[in-house]
Structure 1
């Protein structure tokens, strides 16, 4: 589907020509499959014109042919342009695109060009035997009393000469050699309906450490600047946002409550817990038409959660089934039923929300809306770049998130890595290990340094999903450098500045941070090779210092 938004008060006209059965109505319907297009069917215009002239016109192809020829003779084809212009003038809002289905003589096209500044003539064709076969297929479904066959249609001189309009066309397509989608794609390209590839409208937020870096807080803060919020990953990641009371997003983007006007998208690479998602939709009062779920998103089943119990005990997995579901998605290609796969399109409860991510993204690009893509977990947990096997079930870097969402790298404007002043990992389970951290500390160590309560920190620092006590360590400079390189960081968001000094919690400007904190920020910028554009000093709406220049 194509979405359009044009500032011009003069609409773009697309007039389609072609023989009966060439595919004109199908193309017109596909082009008009958006709220910003106005479709005129000349067949309907004939009935309207006849009614205004007091003429009784029946739904009979032969009668329509004859009446149309008479009108063309009387007005020299002007009647189509007049009817279209009147319809556009009566529209509640100026449409960005006007589709005329269809022209039968060149004069009709010429008069439209006289009346409107931008007119594109699209001509569709097919071999005669194919047209004859298509005509037979449509008899009884067209709503008209049809003729005995395609040869009878061509006894009308005007209809017989329609193929000659191809010489005038700006776009000419043989529909035998192109599918319906191919035809739409070719016409959309010719009309320049797609957003230019040079439009860099996407900003990406990913974790630069081991997850729980505060991505939700950052996404919540900047969400108001975006028209589309996109989430990938699965429910094993919980992103807290500073609402009152605090809310933890498991599948919806973290800006959902911060920007109620933004559209929401869950990409095709996501893994979905259906019950959890429906509950979150209800909690956040998200209406149909605001949220879109790609039909290809993977559904987590109860068996997936059960199969991860061993990993929960051995490597500290959240056990929410995302990894098992991703594995079944791969093995389900065997088609032998051993790893039966359900995608979002197979779940009746999700049908109202389904729409391909490509359509949602194309609409956003065309309208010039900025897009915020939110990844989950952190670079140090990447399946490929983390310390295997103490990793998550997917790649967590910017490029992987783009792939899961269906966004090309040429769309990216900013790549934001979120890092905390003291990185954390999930706590190691009693019978296993949750992975290496450089120079581990205790929460009492940090509390003593910053002038905070160790008991309070220990209580606060529990997993958003697992609720297990987090491990903590000194800032890992080597990991920062690697995360910045892997993610092509243009910006760093530094969180938990209050853990460096209790006084930072009340800072509202950069110059109010402690001297040691300012020195720390400057070194982060040197190592990352990117500015620290956002600094979180606390988990509240005012606890964020915004230093961005974008």
Structure 2
């Protein structure tokens, strides 16, 4: 056998061995073919926009997410029922605790609840019925955690100590981490069986089609388990990094990060025997009413929590908190809400130049500190109340 013939024999034998092994390794072979055909989309396609809170929650993320939702083919929500996102609807507003805030505004979009979500089955089934969501539109990741009644009971001491919402999210998360025999995931619940599908498959299909995705975070960066004012924090990382992790979205897929901030940050009212956590200089609703010209009764009606209906504490805008939230989230855009709290006259504005001069100066200062464009401005809680300055 010549050297040439020997080389051909070796190459042929190696190829045959590779093919023979490939028949027994269908998963790697499928992965290679999927990559060649682009079934996962191109790695450089940035199709995901993320909405996160920049303060202590209740920034108005629901209003912003609902405004953006019609532009997306997939809406994803992380977190649990301890966060309520109120959206203006007629005849009355609707508060989403588990489904994305744009569920009703974008009737054609697919909806996904991520593997990092923590679910109250009764609450979820009610929202599904309220929004008339059929099988084939909603997908729930099989690894989403289920809250049990015992989780809610176990959090009662936290309600009294730090003003926790007491929805059982933290305790359920603790059980999931411990990996005990008492853990039930979404895949174990009969009522959820028709909706079970891994979020990763929904995302990969969207990537392959070039479909835009809106990922909606909950609460705010100031409540992050790792980056907030511990122990006055929530049970998860509420920054953009935490949201991406819970949803299974790689950073390379992110196009825009919209960080929502309100003109006067809030925290839940402190319980009688505890404290809900630090803020910047606290003021009263009476002072906000005096400055803005808004009726005090309107502010008192607005400033109750979406989930527990408890009163809120309110404070001056915290520039250091903005700087810190910007460092944690790296926003490309800021959505500023409650512009009417600066001046009631802002409710009439439909364009940026129609805002009050002091409000415009305030927005310009926010842009200087955050080094991000204030591209969305909510002037009141209404269906068409957002000044949209985006170029994307």
- Normalising by the smaller structure, the TM-score range is over 0.9
Aligned positions of 1:232-381 closer than 5 A: 232-244=78-90, 245-332=92-179, 335=180, 337=181, 340-381=182-223
In 2, Cα distance between the equivalents of 1:331 and 1:174? 39
Secondary structure of 2:306's aligned partner: coil
**C-alpha offsets along residues 337-373 of structure 1, whole Å, 9 cap, x if unaligned?**
4xx1000001011000000011000011111110000
8 Å CA contact 2:39, 2:204 repeated in 1: no
* Paired position in structure 2 for 1:175: 22
* Paired position in structure 2 for 1:192: 38
Q: How far apart are residue 258 of structure 1 and its match?
A: 0.4
Change (3 A) 1:189 1:172: farther
Q: Given the alignment of the two structures, is residue 509 of structure 1 paired with residue 342 of structure 2, yes or no?
A: no
Secondary structure of 2:278's aligned partner: coil
8 Å CA contact 1:293, 1:344 repeated in 2: yes
In 2, Cα distance between the equivalents of 1:474 and 1:507? 23
Change (3 A) 1:306 1:451: same
* Paired position in structure 1 for 2:341: 499
8 Å CA contact 1:441, 1:474 repeated in 2: yes
8 Å CA contact 1:496, 1:537 repeated in 2: yes
Secondary structure of 1:471's aligned partner: strand
Secondary structure of 1:355's aligned partner: coil
Question: Aligned Cα RMSD in Å?
Answer: 1.4
Q: Given the alignment of the two structures, is residue 401 of structure 1 paired with residue 282 of structure 2, yes or no?
A: no
* Paired position in structure 1 for 2:372: 530
Q: Given the alignment of the two structures, is residue 463 of structure 1 paired with residue 330 of structure 2, yes or no?
A: no
Q: Any runs of at least 4 consecutive aligned residues in structure 1 with deviations exceeding 4 A, and if so which?
A: none
Secondary structure of 2:311's aligned partner: coil
Q: How far apart are residue 167 of structure 1 and its match?
A: 7.0
In 2, Cα distance between the equivalents of 1:534 and 1:355? 34
Secondary structure of 2:153's aligned partner: helix
8 Å CA contact 1:173, 1:183 repeated in 2: no
Gap runs ≥5 in structure 2: 1-11
**C-alpha offsets along residues 140-191 of structure 1, whole Å, 9 cap, x if unaligned?**
xxxxxxxxxxxxxxxxxxxxxxxx9x979xx95623652x332321221233
Higher relative contact order structure (alpha carbons within 8 Å, sequence separation ≥ 6): 2
In 1, Cα distance between the equivalents of 2:389 and 2:344? 21
In 2, Cα distance between the equivalents of 1:458 and 1:416? 28
In 1, Cα distance between the equivalents of 2:209 and 2:327? 32
* Paired position in structure 1 for 2:318: 476
In 1, Cα distance between the equivalents of 2:257 and 2:335? 10
8 Å CA contact 1:208, 1:483 repeated in 2: yes
* Paired position in structure 2 for 1:110: none
Q: How far apart are residue 297 of structure 1 and its match?
A: 0.2
In 2, Cα distance between the equivalents of 1:517 and 1:460? 21
* Paired position in structure 1 for 2:274: 432
Change (3 A) 1:175 1:275: same
TM-score by length of 1: 0.67
1:219 to 49, 60, 65: 65
8 Å CA contact 2:376, 2:386 repeated in 1: yes
Secondary structure of 1:545's aligned partner: strand
Q: Given the alignment of the two structures, is residue 202 of structure 1 paired with residue 44 of structure 2, yes or no?
A: no
In 2, Cα distance between the equivalents of 1:167 and 1:299? 49
Q: Given the alignment of the two structures, is residue 548 of structure 1 paired with residue 385 of structure 2, yes or no?
A: no
In 2, Cα distance between the equivalents of 1:404 and 1:467? 27
